[in-house]
Structure 1
């Protein structure tokens, strides 16, 4: 017979259920309360008790579940805790209608009295399991999450991150960057997730220089001390689910030979890294013979492996890395961009996985506070190639602060579950799920417009500029102008080389950059206006959809609109400076400052409700810092053009015409600030 779920539905948990199940039970009880919380059950005579959700032990493969109706209850069968966890979240998603990204997309739940569950209902994962064995997020560059709390609880955002991983079918996490993630390890483990470690902190061990300050981190001289740290880390984590990262880097995210120049050949470097990895592997196996292990083929490790100089056991998962823009090639580092293939090899007999970026931070052109700008169809094709080449053992997805990347994270999770995605259908499903049917066309137009109007700074499909291109590059150009405007900025050679442009001077670099950002500013202005008009049309009948559009897609486009306008104004300022037109240089630098402040204000304006202060600690892209650099540039430009006595610009813009050229005394009032002079210029020059 059919059963009914309503406000009286409860969950019965076996006495031996671990903490991970208790967390999931709390979540589904919250969802039940939200779905049925406003129920008016009427008189006691009309009251119908809701069915119970009951967890039952059953011999099923690890992480598998089966939800069905039995004896008037809704039964979740599983052989382990993660099976129950996934089964409970399946009930939340499939029966209660609570979406996987409900928290990040502010899903509105309209309370109802009850839900009828047909007797024939069966919920279970697809046959054969997910496309990827271990999968989850690396919560990296987590500066927004770390500065934000929900309900005055700074740990609650992290709980929601871990819940999201599990809802998406994931089972793995790196809960923060390096040692900063340690405070979140206990909760991640308690919720049932496998812990992986950043490639810069193998085994999650304390950095050598932190443990032994003043002692040089050398191998093999300090092998005993290194092993003590490794053993300590293994002891701390071997009782929980762990995927152990093996490797050997310097004291920070750099090669070990940067501080030990004795190893000056690839052969010697590969030998040391192979020795260290083998020893770490042995120590892990002593503690747990079945524990999965991984090695990140990142930077120098991939180069040595490709050359046949890095060796480790076949059952160690090789983690290949994309370049931060969705392409499985080596990342650009400074001006060096060899784009070496980083795709797993189908002929490789070992185990393979990937470290893949939904978010990236490179101080050049990546996306950190906004979504990837590449076509999601290319992302799907790249991930399908990974699977076709045997890269299905471990996927670590750099999720950064989650909220700006919700769409891409959902798409990638679909790939780790199903191994394929129809992007056109997915976009519309995503839009309908979170924005509502009435907003689907507007939402999809925004998603597609966002990536189509992005700046192509090179010929490859992944050469698409994120918000860092509109912030770090302007800061570099401005600082170089202030430092030495006669010389090109050597750190920007990559930009011109990507566009096959020869730039021998800073002016050349500015002109080339202007050729990219000026048309982009107009494109983003036009797209922003179009999407704002569509959003405004939804406002009356679909206010929640309009609000979510302004919180997400429209906000991202608005950030690009202001940042590209600011970058274009900065270029005009510098070009005027090269011509010695200091007044216009100062004026355009002021306009640039205003644009970057507007981008920051746009983010802060969307901090309603639980999102209060979410954008406050934008300290990596740091749009407000770009405005500060523009302000510093204004000061220098005014010093050159109006200093050291600072009276001529006052006369030019604040004195009446008849008095400008009458020089009896330089000035009769206090000197104006840079901002006051700028406002006077705007009055004079803007219509």
Structure 2
């Protein structure tokens, strides 16, 4: 190689030549390349029509390139025409070209996979120097790898149009492609006329399906309202929906999910109780899956099919009640909390191993949650509460058990789960991860300084999480502070406090209701201390950061800690309020309920404060954790408590505790009956009780 070919210097208007026909995925990637070059160099690139005048060439690989002969492979080659040095980005196929382009922008322009979701500060440069060296991509550990954009309510509420438009979905799919992903379930039960499936295919992704929507078909009861959702009674109608789904998608890259669950993601026998044994249930699921498999095979050449062994289907398969076609990919699922065991069903938690047995042949894959929604203790708005080591342990163990053909990660709304998703990126590409080295690289990729201190915050985040049970994955996410709290309020106000709340047995046992509430209080108290200490360390680091890094750290670290601390305190004070109420100390219960309300309001304020710039409205559709609903519930509770002793004039507690002694006997009601607001009364009662040691603050 001559000296001239040692380096390629790009500056100003970069000239790009894209050879041959440009399919839609390549067009999308070219637009990303042009945008990234303009962002870094400050000048818009030019797409040229003559090969000789180009500095960058985008094309399919030729035989002479010796590019790896496998799907999605890519490489870099250099050539020289006179003084003009060219970089060739080559791909074995169209997705290989896409990956080659996006890796170029990461490697040489510094555009990180989650640049959009992390609000990365991208450095402007006068020139880019690229070594003229041949490079070939390595093969990913996992053949089919991607995201299930589930619990996507933030994406729904973020922009006004529904279903979400290109503006919402393009950054999602771009980030997935930048992570080396090639597969997606874009949302759950969104209208079929939305852009999500079309755009995913347009950008080069394989599309797959929710296990509750086999083959991507319309829900039976939505298509045929009022009919019995029973395959036994209505096989023609079910098969009509499946055939319509096959016809609509057969020209795309589809991973066909074969499954049979009931309406609304429940076991099908909930709609058809005649299936009352494991034998009957397994036989019906096997029959339906075989029929779906036959229908796809008759319409699609060499289809890729998979079966989600999720929930009851996993249990039936493990029990030997389900028979599957040999060449389908069997997908094993974690429990929603990152552990490869069966998930908890209400109060039942058998924790059966959810990986293939040594003698279970064929291909296997994994469906894995870094975010979850279960109305119990899952993380939805906040980062996965477990340590990176747990993610590493479970995924590497799954790979060792041969479950590496497929990895679908429940990615939620992307923004809150970037760190966990980046760990999964490393795992599905390389098959293993050095968690400490990865954390150092992650922090240095998105922050400009104080890397060690920021890494320590990410690391210690998991150490602050509340363990609510005996297992290593029993760590509280944000829903722990809200769903059980609202259940307690409902049980209390409905006059059911004389009996346990069966919905809380999973967390605090089948004990009297007062003991259930006390059980939460005892778990929450140390959580307040740990999250307070973590936030204090976080604030110390934030104070040292430049404005861009500080904003990023607030959104990606402090925001999560604030939701934990405010939720933890809110639930703690709610529990204390019940104790005081049960002891008929109603003013004290009113104060504690107010403390609860003020804490939960802080969490709601954190959501609003995080909706800055392009993130305006991002949490408007927080319908799952639903912090605003908790605020309303606790406010209702506080008003209820004030009825006990301060009603009907809502002046009695003021008179009893706050009015000067000399005034109590001479005041005139027509000038002293303006009731204090709930907040003002609570603040003043709190001060009175604290001063007089009538209201223990912890």
| TM-score category of the 2 structures, normalised to the smaller one | over 0.9
Name the SS of the counterpart of 2:499 in structure 1: coil
Structure 1 contact 457–495 (Cα < 8 Å) conserved: yes
2:71 aligned with 1:67: no
Structure 2 contact 60–94 (Cα < 8 Å) conserved: no
Tell me how far apart the structure 2 counterparts of residues 561 and 88 of structure 1 sit (CA, whole Å).
42
Structure 2 contact 213–219 (Cα < 8 Å) conserved: yes
Q: Over residues 66-124 of structure 1, what are the superposed CA-to-partner deviations in whole Å (9 max), with x where a residue is unaligned?
A: 1122222111122311010001001111111111111111111121111111222x333
Structure 2 contact 11–128 (Cα < 8 Å) conserved: yes
Partner residue of 1:142 out of 145, 152, 157: 152
Give, in angstroms, the shift of residue 50 of structure 1. 7.8
Give, in angstroms, the shift of residue 670 of structure 1. 3.9
Q: Which residue of 1 aligns with 2:300?
A: 288
Q: Which residue of 2 aligns with 1:427?
A: 439
Tell me how far apart the structure 2 counterparts of residues 284 and 151 of structure 1 sit (CA, whole Å).
34
Tell me how far apart the structure 2 counterparts of residues 666 and 527 of structure 1 sit (CA, whole Å).
51
Q: Which residue of 1 aligns with 2:551?
A: 547
Q: Over residues 182-237 of structure 1, what are the superposed CA-to-partner deviations in whole Å (9 max), with x where a residue is unaligned?
A: 62111001001011100000011011111111111222321111111101000110
Structure 2 contact 183–206 (Cα < 8 Å) conserved: yes
2:135 aligned with 1:91: no
Q: Which residue of 2 aligns with 1:30?
A: 35
Partner residue of 1:115 out of 128, 135, 146: 128
Against the structure 1 CA distance between its residues 440 and 389, is the aligned structure 2 distance closer, same or farther, given a 3 Å change threshold?
same
Partner residue of 2:544 out of 515, 534, 537: 537
1:236-635 equivalence runs, <5 A: 236-436=248-448, 438-483=449-494, 484-497=496-509, 504-538=511-545, 542-635=546-639
Name stretches of at least 5 consecutive residues in structure 2 with no aligned partner. Answer: 45-52, 64-68, 692-698
Q: Which residue of 2 aligns with 1:104?
A: 117
Q: CA RMSD in A?
A: 2.0
Q: Which residue of 2 aligns with 1:43?
A: none
Tell me how far apart the structure 2 counterparts of residues 123 and 586 of structure 1 sit (CA, whole Å).
68
- How many aligned positions are there? 666
Against the structure 1 CA distance between its residues 52 and 290, is the aligned structure 2 distance closer, same or farther, given a 3 Å change threshold?
same
Q: Over residues 266-306 of structure 1, what are the superposed CA-to-partner deviations in whole Å (9 max), with x where a residue is unaligned?
A: 11111111111001001111111311111111111011101
Name stretches of at least 5 consecutive residues in structure 1 with no aligned partner. Answer: 40-48, 498-502
Give, in angstroms, the shift of residue 150 of structure 1. 11
Give, in angstroms, the shift of residue 681 of structure 1. 2.5
Tell me how far apart the structure 1 counterparts of residues 90 and 37 of structure 2 sit (CA, whole Å).
20
Structure 1 contact 66–124 (Cα < 8 Å) conserved: yes
Name the SS of the counterpart of 1:659 in structure 2: coil
Partner residue of 2:141 out of 109, 128, 131: 131
Against the structure 1 CA distance between its residues 26 and 281, is the aligned structure 2 distance closer, same or farther, given a 3 Å change threshold?
same
Q: Which residue of 1 aligns with 2:180?
A: 169
Give, in angstroms, the shift of residue 665 of structure 1. 4.8
Name the SS of the counterpart of 1:343 in structure 2: coil
Regions of 4+ moved over 4 Å: 150-154, 661-668
Give, in angstroms, the shift of residue 255 of structure 1. 0.9
Structure 1 contact 54–73 (Cα < 8 Å) conserved: no
Name the SS of the counterpart of 1:113 in structure 2: coil
Tell me how far apart the structure 2 counterparts of residues 427 and 79 of structure 1 sit (CA, whole Å).
32
Tell me how far apart the structure 1 counterparts of residues 614 and 136 of structure 2 sit (CA, whole Å).
33
Against the structure 1 CA distance between its residues 667 and 343, is the aligned structure 2 distance closer, same or farther, given a 3 Å change threshold?
farther
Give, in angstroms, the shift of residue 645 of structure 1. 4.1
Against the structure 1 CA distance between its residues 100 and 664, is the aligned structure 2 distance closer, same or farther, given a 3 Å change threshold?
closer
Structure 2 contact 332–367 (Cα < 8 Å) conserved: yes
Tell me how far apart the structure 1 counterparts of residues 128 and 687 of structure 2 sit (CA, whole Å).
63
Against the structure 1 CA distance between its residues 73 and 260, is the aligned structure 2 distance closer, same or farther, given a 3 Å change threshold?
same
Tell me how far apart the structure 2 counterparts of residues 154 and 651 of structure 1 sit (CA, whole Å).
58
Tell me how far apart the structure 1 counterparts of residues 266 and 687 of structure 2 sit (CA, whole Å).
51
Q: Which residue of 2 aligns with 1:44?
A: none
Structure 1 contact 446–554 (Cα < 8 Å) conserved: no
Structure 1 contact 572–588 (Cα < 8 Å) conserved: yes
Name the SS of the counterpart of 2:158 in structure 1: coil
Against the structure 1 CA distance between its residues 296 and 357, is the aligned structure 2 distance closer, same or farther, given a 3 Å change threshold?
same
Tell me how far apart the structure 2 counterparts of residues 332 and 563 of structure 1 sit (CA, whole Å).
23
Structure 2 contact 58–97 (Cα < 8 Å) conserved: no
Tell me how far apart the structure 2 counterparts of residues 181 and 363 of structure 1 sit (CA, whole Å).
27
Tell me how far apart the structure 1 counterparts of residues 118 and 78 of structure 2 sit (CA, whole Å).
31
Tell me how far apart the structure 2 counterparts of residues 384 and 88 of structure 1 sit (CA, whole Å).
29
Structure 1 contact 345–390 (Cα < 8 Å) conserved: no
Give, in angstroms, the shift of residue 11 of structure 1. 2.8
Comparing 222-231 with 475-484, which one deviates more in the overlay? 475-484
Partner residue of 2:19 out of 6, 14, 17: 14
Comparing 139-148 with 543-552, which one deviates more in the overlay? 543-552
Tell me how far apart the structure 1 counterparts of residues 558 and 183 of structure 2 sit (CA, whole Å).
31
Comparing 54-63 with 654-663, which one deviates more in the overlay? 654-663
1:44-63 equivalence runs, <5 A: 51-58=55-62, 60-63=69-72
Q: Over residues 21-41 of structure 1, what are the superposed CA-to-partner deviations in whole Å (9 max), with x where a residue is unaligned?
A: 1011111111001110179xx
Tell me how far apart the structure 2 counterparts of residues 323 and 67 of structure 1 sit (CA, whole Å).
42
Q: Which residue of 1 aligns with 2:644?
A: 640
Give, in angstroms, the shift of residue 558 of structure 1. 1.5
2:226 aligned with 1:214: yes
Name the SS of the counterpart of 1:251 in structure 2: coil
Structure 2 contact 309–330 (Cα < 8 Å) conserved: yes
Structure 1 contact 320–352 (Cα < 8 Å) conserved: yes
Give, in angstroms, the shift of residue 554 of structure 1. 1.4
Structure 2 contact 146–409 (Cα < 8 Å) conserved: yes
Name the SS of the counterpart of 1:264 in structure 2: coil
Against the structure 1 CA distance between its residues 295 and 661, is the aligned structure 2 distance closer, same or farther, given a 3 Å change threshold?
farther
Comparing 66-75 with 222-231, which one deviates more in the overlay? 66-75
